[in-house]
Structure 1
């Protein structure tokens, strides 16, 4: 592989992971928690970025050095564990994807006035079209990069027009008025939970970027992915904070659309449609690709018909949305539940990092192991607390 195409794959993997994270749930969660916590939500973002980096660096490096996908590593750690991990990721990915398809439908509704159902069908067809292209991997990389850049530029514009209190946001990011565990678990779950953190790691394996020599590139790509998603999160937070501090009400049925409309009028509302569609369609692609990558090595039949199964995954997600739809609360719930998958997935990877039959004579840096263990313990504790105390309140 030439240097230029290798760089493109590394950047594509970073953008695939980041744009998989930046979906309708990401937009909704960020806006809802900003209106609830105000400037103190900056602390939640800061904590989630640190936890995200700790999780992602460990997972991508161990996948690369073992030259195996996560489910195969898990089965080597404990027979059958890979099947459990694959099942949890597939279920979480399908649930997320229903919301992603719905978000794409909502984006087309804002842009062109199509019904969300028709927009979802059109968007599903576009996502399927990308996988039917002969060079599907390259098409996916390019599409993710383009959509990611467009989203970030539009988000910066909206953040600037909402005139947020940046100084207060910076102070409260380090000295918050309140610490919200549900918000931290949901953000980490929505950024590196479930299938999302594996999107880029599995893409690198598929492109042949693996082995010990590739570790510096893999580490940079992993951190870049979190950086891209975090830039988007920070500017969306600032845009929402600017609106909330002016005392303007957010529409509970579509909180992020309110932010764009209050900040930049009707132009802002149309921009929201573009951002929502780009965020959703890239998440549909990332979710389908990564979820199926979790089962492809478990059966030769799945390996043979991988592309057809990816298409079926998108078709099922689209059909379920068209029949049922999705409420705002479900997007927050799925983000939190994806956060609960993370301690299991990362814990398995950390065990694998110290097993010679998986990584050979590779020595995983001790500081990374400690960092990873901290993420596992912190997410397990906060996830348990959230599951038993905070999540039930959402549905009472």
Structure 2
């Protein structure tokens, strides 16, 4: 897992920023992302476009705030939290690590299901194969460079699959646009869930922590924060919108999505068995990228030291193998139904206001940020997102039915 030489000597800050962008975006675009988007499109139709619009706006605010605060301070989120209130970082680590672990059960299971669709392999055995691939990617020489390239390659596959599906369907663009800006129904559960699935939990910090891992830190590197964060949000948003439009085309044509696997229904109805195979490819890519993202970020939350010889760095390969194997074995013996992916996404959405609030407090502390002044518009909009997501989380807790 360790680089033989510092990353900054081998890769430019822009290259590292793009790696961080795709790490964040593809960590978000996992099996849970596919399930959430398809399920809510089936339930809400074109009105789900409004939730996606709010999600994109929240994504921009959250990621620009979190990435900037982490990079300017040069400290991981859990270290910042401990400096805000002693011990708070350990609470944040617990929330992020547990959420990332349970999401990873769905990630590795999704990759296994993708192999099942493509080649008829038993999903449990497919999960074992996917786990072996993920572990191999992490433990090779120059691992983070390999992770970045793997994630970018799989992102291209995801987009190509969705372009094909949109090409063979009649896309209801006018209806989608109308209801996106003038919805007739607002569902707080859908908002909390998809925001949580895109920038909640571990996903909020995957890009910022990846930049630190690549040696990009300090106020002079803010431009790379903006480029990386906006690129990542753009990629994740494009994929979300494409999947939404494909699902909406199927729903408005009078079809009902299978609640057990709503995302698969979209592809199978749109393009028959060939489309279903394409869904398998998309699911495999989604499961693999999210496994890489959740593993990297969750393990990074265990590290409270700037020292390269810290125990986490020393035993990183063992920690990564344990994390992936444990989540794989839980899937192997228990399984991971689609509903779990949606519920965990909602949980991540509830964690988001807590995590963002901690970093916004850190952003205005001189003993943490030095002479840096965080932009007022980011502080203001950041607190708006905290308040809105907290309110939406309460509304969700009052109405959720498991």
When normalised by structure 1's length, the TM-score is 0.97
Query: How far apart, in 2, do the equivalents of 1:37 and 1:164 lie?
Result: 17
Once superposed, which parts of structure 1, at least 4 consecutive aligned residues long, lie more than 6 Å away? Answer: none
Query: How far apart, in 2, do the equivalents of 1:160 and 1:174 lie?
Result: 25
Deviation at 1:5, TM superposition (A): 3.6
Correspondent of 2:41 among 34, 37, 51 = 34
Correspondent of 1:77 among 84, 93, 98 = 84
Query: How far apart, in 1, do the equivalents of 2:187 and 2:145 lie?
Result: 40
Query: How far apart, in 1, do the equivalents of 2:314 and 2:83 lie?
Result: 23
Change (3 A) 1:132 1:303: closer
* 1:320 matched to 2:330: yes
Query: How far apart, in 2, do the equivalents of 1:4 and 1:290 lie?
Result: 20
* 1:276 aligned partner: 283
Deviation at 1:328, TM superposition (A): 1.4
Kept after mapping to 2: 8 A contact 1:296/1:306: no
Correspondent of 1:137 among 132, 139, 144 = 144
SS at match of 1:296: coil
* 1:50 aligned partner: 57
Correspondent of 1:183 among 172, 181, 190 = 190
Query: How far apart, in 2, do the equivalents of 1:235 and 1:173 lie?
Result: 14
Kept after mapping to 1: 8 A contact 2:28/2:290: yes
* 1:164 matched to 2:174: no
Query: How far apart, in 2, do the equivalents of 1:303 and 1:144 lie?
Result: 22
Kept after mapping to 2: 8 A contact 1:297/1:303: no
* 1:65 aligned partner: 72
Instruction: Give a deviation string over 1:351-375, Cα, whole Å, max 9, x none.
Output: 1110111110000000000010000
Instruction: Give a deviation string over 1:312-357, Cα, whole Å, max 9, x none.
Output: 1000000000000011111110000001111111001101110111
When normalised by structure 2's length, the TM-score is 0.96
Matches of residues 207-246 of structure 1 in structure 2 within 5 Å?
Answer: 207-246=214-253
SS at match of 1:297: coil
* 1:380 aligned partner: 390
Deviation at 1:387, TM superposition (A): 1.2
Please give the root-mean-square deviation of Cα atoms over the aligned residues, in Å: 1.3
Matches of residues 80-159 of structure 1 in structure 2 within 5 Å?
Answer: 80-159=87-166
Query: How far apart, in 1, do the equivalents of 2:389 and 2:54 lie?
Result: 11
* 1:249 matched to 2:249: no
SS at match of 2:304: helix
Matches of residues 304-319 of structure 1 in structure 2 within 5 Å?
Answer: 304-319=314-329
Which runs of no fewer than 5 residues in structure 1 stay unpaired?
A: none
* 1:369 aligned partner: 379
Which runs of no fewer than 5 residues in structure 2 stay unpaired?
A: 1-7
Kept after mapping to 2: 8 A contact 1:27/1:256: yes
Kept after mapping to 1: 8 A contact 2:13/2:224: no
